[in-house]
Structure 1
Amino acid sequence: MYPGALAITLAVMAATVAISWYARRYSGTTVEFYLAGRTVNVFMNASAICGDYFSAASFLGVAGAVYASGMDGLWFGIGFAAGFVPVLLFLASPLRRFGEYTLPDFLAARFRSDAARLAGVAMVQIIALFYLAPQMVGAGTVWELLVGRGLPGLSPYATGVIVTALVMIVYTAVGGMRGTTWNQALQFWIMVWAVVVLLALGIVTGFSYSRALADLSLGPLVSAERWRVADLLRPDPATGKTPADQAREVMSEAYWRARIEPRLADPDAEVTVLMPQKSRVRPGEPAVFNRPGHLYGPLDQISLVLTLTLGTAGLPHVIMRYYTNPSGPVARWTTVYVLVFTSGFYLLASTVGVMGRALAPALAAKGRVGLAIQVVDGVLAYPDQVMPFLAQSLGGDVVLGHVAAGAFAAMFSTIGGLLMASAASWGHDLYEQYIKPDAPEWLRVAVGKAALVAMALVALGLGLAVPRFELTRAFPAVIALMVTWAFSVAASGFVPVLVTAIWWRGTTLRGALAGMAVGGGGAVLFVVMNLLRIRGALPDHPLTALGKHLTFPTLVTVPLALLTIVLVSLWDRRSVPENIDEVWIRVHGTARERQERLLARVGLRARTGRPGA
Structure 2
Amino acid sequence: MTPAAPALPPVLAVGAVVAVALATVLVGVLGLRISRTTSDFYVASRTVRPWWNASAIGGEYLSAASFLGVAGLILVNGVNALWYPIGYTAGFLMLLLFVAAPLRRSGAYTVPDFAAARLGSGWARRATSVLVVLIAWLYIVPQLQGAALAVGITTGLPGWVGSTAVVAVVVASVIFGGMRSITFAQAFQFWLKLAALAVPALILVLWLAGRGAPAVGSAGELTAALPSGAVSLAAPDGVYRTASLMVALLFGTLGLPHVLVRFYTNPDGASARRTTVIVLGLLSVFYLFPTTLGVLGRIAAPDLAGHADATVVLLPARLVEGPLGTVLSALVLAGAMAAFLSTTSGLLVSVAGVVSQELFGGGVLGFRIAAAVAAVVPLGAALVAGPQALAGSVGLVFAFTASTICPLLVLGIWWRRLTAAGAVAGLAAGALGCGGAVLAAGSVRDPVAAALLGQPAAWSVPLAFAVMIGVSLAARRPVPTATDRFLVRIHSPERREHP
Q: What TM-score, normalized by structure 1, do the two folds share?
A: 0.75
What amino acid is the match of 2:181? G
CA separation in 1, counterparts of 2:126 and 2:463? 22
Counterpart of 1:610? none
Structure 1 residue corresponding to 2:440, chosen from 526, 529, 532: 529
Counterpart residue number, 1:387: 312
**Counterparts in 2 of 1:74-473, with a 5 A limit?**
74-149=82-157, 156-204=158-206, 205-206=208-209, 207-208=215-216, 210-216=219-225, 221=229, 279=232, 281-282=234-235, 297-360=238-301, 378-393=303-318, 394=320, 395-432=324-361, 444-467=363-386, 471=388
* SS at structure 2 position matched to 1:382: helix
Separation of aligned partners in 2, 1:454 and 1:81: 32
CA contact (8 A) 2:204 2:316 kept: no
Q: Distance in 1 between the 2:328 and 2:166 partners?
A: 21
* Contact preservation (8 Å) 1:96, 1:322: yes
Measured after TM superposition, the shift of residue 466 of structure 1 is 1.5
Which shifted more, 503-512 or 413-422?
A: 503-512
**Distance in 1 between residues matched to 2:49 and 2:343, nearest whole Å:** 20
2: distance between equivalents of 1:482 and 1:357?
22
Structure 2: gaps of 5 or more residues = 1-8, 210-214
Task: Quickly say closer, same or farther: Cα 1:103–1:300, change in 2 above 3 A.
Answer: same
1:412/1:278 CA distance change after superposition, 3 Å: closer
Alignment TM-score, normalising by the size of structure 2: 0.92
Query: What secondary structure is seen at the aligned counterpart in 2 of 1:136?
Result: helix
For the residues of structure 1 that align with 2:448 and 2:223, how far apart are their CA atoms?
Answer: 37
Q: What CA deviation, in whole Å up to 9, does each residue of 1:46-86 have, x standing for no partner?
A: 00001010000000011111111012211111000101011
| Pair 1:71 & 2:79 matched | yes
The aligned residue for residue 579 of structure 1 is 482
Whole-angstrom CA distance in 1 between matches of 2:58 and 2:238: 30
The corresponding residue for 1:225 is none
Shift of 1:29: 1.9
2:328 aligned partner, one-letter code: V
Q: Secondary structure, in 3 states, of the residue corresponding to 2:360?
A: helix
Alignment size in residue pairs: 480
Does structure 2 conserve the Cα–Cα contact (< 8 Å) formed by 1:130 and 1:482? no
C-alpha displacement at 1:111, in angstroms? 0.8
Q: Following TM superposition, by how much is the alpha carbon of 1:211 offset from its aligned partner in structure 2, in angstroms?
A: 4.6
- Paired AA for residue 172 in structure 2: V
Residues 1:454 and 1:575: Cα distance change in structure 2 (over 3 Å): farther
Whichever residue aligns with residue 565 of structure 1, its letter is: M
Please give the secondary structure, in 2, of the residue aligned with 1:187. helix
Show the counterpart of 1:441: none
Flag the 1:573–1:27 CA change in 2: closer, same or farther, 3 A.
Answer: farther
Correspondence for 1:514? 425
- Bigger Rg, which one: 1
SS at match of 2:481: coil
Amino acid in the other structure paired with 1:410: A
Per mean C-alpha deviation after superposition, the further-off stretch among 352-361 and 301-310 is: 352-361
Shift of residue 313 of structure 1? 0.7
Q: Is 1:38 aligned to 2:68, yes or no?
A: no
* 8 Å CA contact 1:9, 1:402 repeated in 2: no
Q: Which amino acid aligns with 1:323?
A: Y
For 1:300 and 1:210, locate their aligned partners in 2 and report how far apart those are by CA, in whole Å: 29
CA distance in 2 between counterparts of 1:297 and 1:134 reads 25
1:280 offset after TM fit, Å? 6.0
Q: Distance in 2 between matches of 1:570 and 1:123?
A: 24
Superposition RMSD in Å: 2.0
Once the two structures are superposed, residues 13-63 of structure 1 have per-residue CA deviations (whole angstroms, 9 ceiling, x without a partner) of 111101101111233221111111111111100000010100000000111
Distance 1:282 1:119 in 2: 39
| Partner SS for 1:380 | helix
Displacement of 1:117 in angstroms is 0.7
Aligned-partner Cα distance in 2 for 1:103–1:193: 33
Query: How far did residue 575 of structure 1 move?
Result: 5.3
Does the CA-based 8 Å contact 1:112-1:577 persist in structure 2? no
**Structure 1 residue 528: Cα displacement:** 2.1
Other-structure match for 2:469: 566
- Alignment partner of 1:83: what SS? helix
Q: Which residue of 2 aligns with 1:375?
A: none
The one-character-per-residue Cα deviations of 1:296-345 (angstroms, maximum 9, x if unpaired) are 61110100111111101100110000001111100110000001001111
Deviation at 1:6, TM superposition (A): 2.5
Hey, what's the Cα distance between the residues in 2 that align with 1:102 and 1:577? Answer: 23
Instruction: Specify the SS of the correspondent of 1:583.
Output: helix
Q: Give the structure 1 partner of residue 3 of structure 2.
A: none
Q: Percent identity?
A: 39
